[in-house]
Amino acid sequence: NEMGFAGSFDLFYLPIDFRAFTNLGYCFINFISAEKAAEFRSQVDGLKLPLFKSSKVLASAKARVQGFQQNFTNFRNNVVMSKTMGPEYQPIIVDPSTGCEVPFPPPSGSLRRTRKKAVIDMESLRRRLLAALSTTPQAEHAEEIVGKVMKFHEHRRQWKNLEQLVRSVEEDREKLADFAAQGFEHVRTKGQAGSAPQSGESPGVGAASEQ
């Protein structure tokens, strides 16, 4: 709201790690129009939060679930809407015309979990990779690079390798530069003969396996 987006969104959710009672480092915002979403992305991508002593910057990306009704349906019978959960841990609905919160309707059926822990972790890793790449010369190709890397690791279920990759590029600027350059090369040559990653390879896999 302080950035001028009051009345531009109708749903907000900040996922929480209930073991540590801290947020997972990302949130979901459903904007009322694609134009407002694009404007938001142009303002926050690469922005550093002033209250945190960290070199990390913000990065935005399209969510898997799109639109108010789809998000509402996705959350309504989610376990996060249980009566045992405090309202501060639940998604909120906002009336764009007033900017005020609207009570979330009660569940319409039995509560269910919509994600497994591994999926939640993958989403977090994806956003961390986007944030890291936003600080490199290849920032404009971050979505394509990360998409290629995520698809590779999800297909092979190499969660540990991906975790190592993310940690290494966050902690080592040289590895980040190598990862960004290698990832861009895969994206740049996409569709050309012989450009597909070889078996056992993906952009940044080498960095992930380094100790």
Please choose, from the candidates 127, 128, 120, the residue with its C-alpha nearest in 3D space to the C-alpha of residue 78.
120
Distances in Å between the Cα of 193 and the Cα atoms of 175, 189, 190, 196, 205 are 27, 8, 9, 8, 21
Tokens of 82: 């249980």
Please choose, from the candidates 90, 75, 156, 162, the residue with its C-alpha nearest in 3D space to the C-alpha of residue 123.
162
Tokens of 196: 């597909």
Please state the rounded mean pLDDT for residues 168-192.
81
State the pLDDT at residue 95: 92
Please state the rounded mean pLDDT for residues 36-56.
81
Per-residue pLDDT at 116 exceeds 70? no
Confidence of residue 30 (pLDDT cuts 50, 70, 90): very high
Confidence of residue 55 (pLDDT cuts 50, 70, 90): confident
Per-residue pLDDT at 68 exceeds 60? yes
Per-residue pLDDT at 204 exceeds 60? no
Per DSSP, the three-state class of 115 is: coil
Whole-prediction pTM? 0.52
Please state the rounded mean pLDDT for residues 126-148.
88
More confident residue, 178 or 113: 178
State the pLDDT at residue 67: 92
- Residue 67: left (phi > 0), alpha (psi -120 to 50), or beta? left
Is 168 within 8 Å of 175 (Cβ atoms)? yes
CA–centroid distance for 127 within its chain: 4
